A and B are shown apart, each in its own frame.
Chain A
């Protein structure tokens, strides 16, 4: 009995939400113009816009297509500025805590299908700008759908334990031995672009295997393979930086094959970035240590 109580108390303490305090916020309003770039780099619309929406409807973040994973099916919520169903009532600090700590406004643990393990790399200043941009988008009153998760993943509080292992709280720090361009690319890939979330394999409890960062992984939906994008890749290891940048802009490979599957949305988001950012991503990917593709 005592052991059980100690166990329960430890679980409670270990899964305690650890939000950031308002003192981390800069003493300025967010800049929605800068925020728009981060919105496209972050691919928010890919999960949060209504499935199949095109054009301006991509900006209605009413909640999107189900995200099928080995842990259950997640439904990306409404993050439009609607005050009831969206995040219209969230403060900037609430938003920062969701992105950097994986916490909802009442301290509830958010599931890491929302890729805060990558978004945590973004500096608070960038998140303040992104929030300012999201505030300009149209409100939508679509209610949220509950996730469909089996036990024990249905216990939201348990995510706190997972975070002890996989959420380090570090903001991106540039590598002084690398060029500004490579550092910009590294930031976009590791932070807002959250490329690791699909291109890096995961262990049995969904933690990223950093020893094979960006070296490809099974598609989480269970069908197909997400390619290796390091220089050791059997599919694109021999592409030049220009080839990679051109792929992100046009969706075409050097052989005039095309982008497919879920990468189509990613590519179309990347096409909205300045050419210098696509070149930076390409420079960073070419600079990675080559990892051979898994057989």
Chain B
């Protein structure tokens, strides 16, 4: 009988432990996705601003990274993960559909920019501008001031 209680206690301890771990993992994963998106934008804008030579394949790959991360990002905010990081606004959970729509728009604009990269620098330039405009459109409402 005692063994059952010990086992139950262990299960609870493990479950609590893994939930705590999952929460901090989520926070780290959110930050990693945002950093990957920022890094990909920098790759693209360095070409647009003439800091590096335009390379269609690299530009396309950078935009595809944004598509992947923007698709994953809204899945990192399950119910109960409100405190996994310190910058997510409670509105992420109260206005979830709008939050997800922002992420979806980023993904679709990045997809369009990946396609535009094949058309050369002149086609890529406005397309990456449209991608970047998504950042503050979402951060204005869904990220706390920092």
Contact = CB atoms under 8 A, between A and B. Distances in A.
Interface of A: 219, 223-227, 235, 251-252, 255-265, 267
A227 B35 CA distance: 19
B89 interface: yes
Nearest to A257: B38
B145 A262 contact: yes
A219 B145 contact: yes
Contact of B140 (A224, A226, A257, A264): A264
A84 B38 CA distance: 49
A224 B135 contact: no
Interface string B81-112: 00000010110000000000000000000000
Contacts of B136: 251, 258-260, 264, 267
A295 to B, nearest CB: 14
A251 B139 CA distance: 11
A259 B132 CA distance: 11
A142 B145 CA distance: 30
B135 A223 contact: no
Nearest to B134: A258
A257 B34 CA distance: 8
B42 A263 contact: no
A264 B144 contact: no
A261 B135 contact: no
Nearest to B44: A256
Contacts, number: 62
B146 A227 contact: yes
Interface in B122-146: 132, 135-136, 139-140, 143-146
Contacts of A262: 145
Chain A contact residues: helix, strand, loop or mixed? loop
Chain B contact residues: helix, strand, loop or mixed? helix
A189 B140 CA distance: 22
B54 interface: no
Contacts of A219: 144-145
B143 A261 contact: yes
Contacts of A258: 132, 135-136, 139
B145 A255 contact: no
Contacts of B144: 219, 223-225, 260-261
B146 A224 contact: yes
Nearest to A220: B145
A253 B139 CA distance: 13
B38 A260 contact: no
Contacts of A224: 87, 89, 144-146
Most buried by B among A225, A255, A257, A258: A258
A252 B135 contact: yes
B42 A260 contact: no
Closest 5 CB pairs of A and B: A224-B144, A260-B139, A258-B135, A261-B145, A264-B140
Given A223-B89, A255-B38, A260 B132 contact: no
B39 A260 contact: no
Given A255-B35, A255-B38, A256-B42, 5 more contacts: A226-B145, A251-B135, A257-B34, A260-B140, A260-B144
Contacts of B140: 259-261, 264-265
Interface string B3-39: 0000000000000000000000000000000110011
A260 B145 contact: yes
24 contacts: A219-B145, A223-B89, A224-B89, A224-B144, A224-B145, A227-B145, A227-B146, A252-B41, A252-B135, A255-B42, A256-B38, A256-B41, A256-B45, A258-B132, A258-B135, A258-B139, A259-B136, A259-B139, A259-B140, A260-B140, A260-B143, A260-B145, A264-B136, A264-B140
Contact of B139 (A223, A227, A264): A264
Contacts of B45: 256
A261 B91 CA distance: 12
Contact of A263 (B41, B132, B145): B145
Contacts of A235: 146
Contacts of A261: 139-140, 143-146
